[in-house]
Copies of this chain bind each other. A is one copy, B any other.
């Protein structure tokens, strides 16, 4: 325990070869005679030698590591995103560093610091200020995840407009009036888009949209809170369009807890199509977004972009509405 690790030089001395040979053997590059290789390998094994990342990083001028920056990590969304991202990074032999800002005020510093510890950074939505984004991009390749491209920084995102189809469905197909929107448009580009699509659908259906959204977060508990705010008021909405499934689930729980019938008294829709969406009763009508693919595409773009600039600048992944029962549709 705590045996100071040996260095190339020491291994070289023990194996009676030069450091160059040890390096060649340990990383399997270049030509080394069978005999020498075995001798060196034996010493490496015996002393448990492992090349130091510090030295290697400096010599190779690369970290073999990329980072992904999130605002938080509650909920299945970030978990999926991470898995997609990591799967691709792993394939490229690159490690992944997750950085969570938790909306801390000094988080921009952490991101900047991170910039000098990795070969590239994927930044989720509005986690850092535009100014910071620029500075980071000046140091390492950056890809915006679930946001808009900016100043030459490419982006990967999902098509949020599909939530408009859901809204139209509620308005036109079901004939509901008085819809509410749960989500904070100022919180992230995704929610901004969704709120706008929600409004646009109202305009197209020539129905007056609510003036304001219910500006809460994206966690389940926020949905429960929203349910309280909406349902205990004087004129509860007939249907509520949520910025994501977690809040929709929260609203559903809140509504059922109040003895309301869903969709009878209140229709509810979400966004993401997380596993829970099809497990609850009634099942959740939502928009399916390829979260894993989103993460994977981001990683690919980031890692390939480490070399060549100027590939895709704005990848928008397709999404699709999933009609189940929480909106009032019959079970198929």
Interface residues of A (CB under 8 A from B): 1-3, 5, 48, 50, 52-55, 57-58, 61, 63, 65, 72-76, 78-79, 82-83, 86, 95, 97-100, 102, 110, 113-114, 116-117, 137-139, 152, 219-221, 224-225, 250, 253-254, 256-258, 275-276, 279-281, 309
- Of all A-B residue pairs in the complex, the 7 with the closest CB atoms, nearest first, are A257-B281, A98-B98, A53-B116, A224-B279, A221-B275, A74-B79, A54-B58
A57 to B63, CA, bound (A): 12
A257 to B73, CA, bound (A): 28
Which of B1, B54, B61, B256 interacts with A152 by CB under 8 Å? Answer: B1
A13 to B219, CA, bound (A): 53
Asked if A79 meets B73 with Cβ closer than 8 Å, knowing A1-B137, A280-B224, the reply is yes
| Inter-chain contacts of A138 with B (CB < 8 A) | 1-3, 48
A254 to B224, CA, bound (A): 17
- Name the residue among A75, A99, A220 with the largest chain B CB count within 10 angstroms: A220
A3 to B52, CA, bound (A): 28
* Minimum CB–CB distance for A35 against chain B, Å: 29
Task: State the oligomeric state as a number of copies.
Answer: 2
| Inter-chain contacts of A86 with B (CB < 8 A) | 100, 102
Q: Would you give 23 A-B contacts (Cβ < 8 Å), ordered by A?
A: A1-B152, A2-B138, A53-B116, A54-B54, A54-B57, A57-B58, A72-B79, A73-B78, A73-B79, A74-B75, A74-B79, A75-B75, A76-B219, A86-B100, A86-B102, A95-B110, A97-B97, A98-B99, A98-B100, A224-B280, A225-B279, A253-B281, A257-B281
A309 to B79, CA, bound (A): 35
A257 to B325, CA, bound (A): 13
| Inter-chain contacts of A137 with B (CB < 8 A) | 1
A98 to B96, CA, bound (A): 9
| Inter-chain contacts of A275 with B (CB < 8 A) | 221
* Minimum CB–CB distance for A55 against chain B, Å: 6
Residue of B nearest to A258 (CB): B281
Which of B5, B53, B61, B99 interacts with A117 by CB under 8 Å? Answer: B53
